[in-house]
Structure 1
Amino acid sequence: ELNDDVLFGEVWSREGQLSLRDRSLVTVVALMAQGLTDESFRYHLTTAKKNGITKEEIAEVVTHAAFYCGWPKAWAVFRMAKDIWGED
């Protein structure tokens, strides 16, 4: 209920406070910082692409965040992002 109704229902729908695009950027960096690169992370990368994050932007965000989150985490994210944005 908290996940579906509150997080994805209420929080993600508050576009007046933060756009879906910006929420995707925040989510990707937050999950990257934790070292999460499972299927839920892949879902959020795919959602980021759907929300308008370009291939160049995700590369820049991951590069920037790598200095704060760590290169090994960034490298894992780069591999996933390459798969998702690869056809662009």
Structure 2
Amino acid sequence: MTQTEGIMAGKKIVQTAGRQALGSFAPEFAHLNDDILFGEVWSRNDLLSLRDRSLVTIVCLIAQGITDNSLVYHLKTAKENGITQKEIAEILTHAAFYAGWPKAWAAFNLAKTVWTEEE
């Protein structure tokens, strides 16, 4: 998992995943990921809360069929941002009708792991 600081509202997100994974190979992409997407867009929590950003991001990833480590990362972040197990279950159930049943199944399997890790 990457290092993310400032999950609470009002704090700037510090992301280093791009630089750690691709910094020397694709420095501009790393910059856009770490500084623009997370450093600027995700840090505009006066316009949209981190919780809501997590919800939107998860649904977008599921709709595209992305159920790799990026969805796991965003599920963990959603949990840190206050989305409960009951809420993620309802979010995924709702998304299943619009994004696709198999995509929701895949997301449920990942979410179940994330929400039961510490319990």
Could you list the per-position Cα deviations for residues 7-58 of structure 1 after superposition, in whole angstroms to 9, with x for gaps in the alignment? 0000000011000000000000000000001011100000000000000000
Q: Which residue of 2 aligns with 1:11?
A: 41
Could you list the per-position Cα deviations for residues 31-87 of structure 1 after superposition, in whole angstroms to 9, with x for gaps in the alignment? 000000101110000000000000000000000010000000000000000000014
Describe how 1:13-52 pairs up with structure 2 within 5 A.
13-52=43-82
Q: Matched residues in 1 for 2:47 and 2:60: separation?
A: 18
User: How many residue pairs get matched?
Assistant: 88
Question: Percent identity of the aligned residues?
Answer: 70
Amino acid at match of 2:84: T
TM-score where L is the length of structure 1:
0.97
Where do 5+ consecutive residues of structure 1 fail to align? none
Runs (4 or more) in structure 1 with deviation over 4 Å come to none
Q: Matched residues in 2 for 1:41 and 1:81: separation?
A: 9
1:83 matched to 2:83? The reply is: no
**Aligned-CA RMSD value:** 0.7
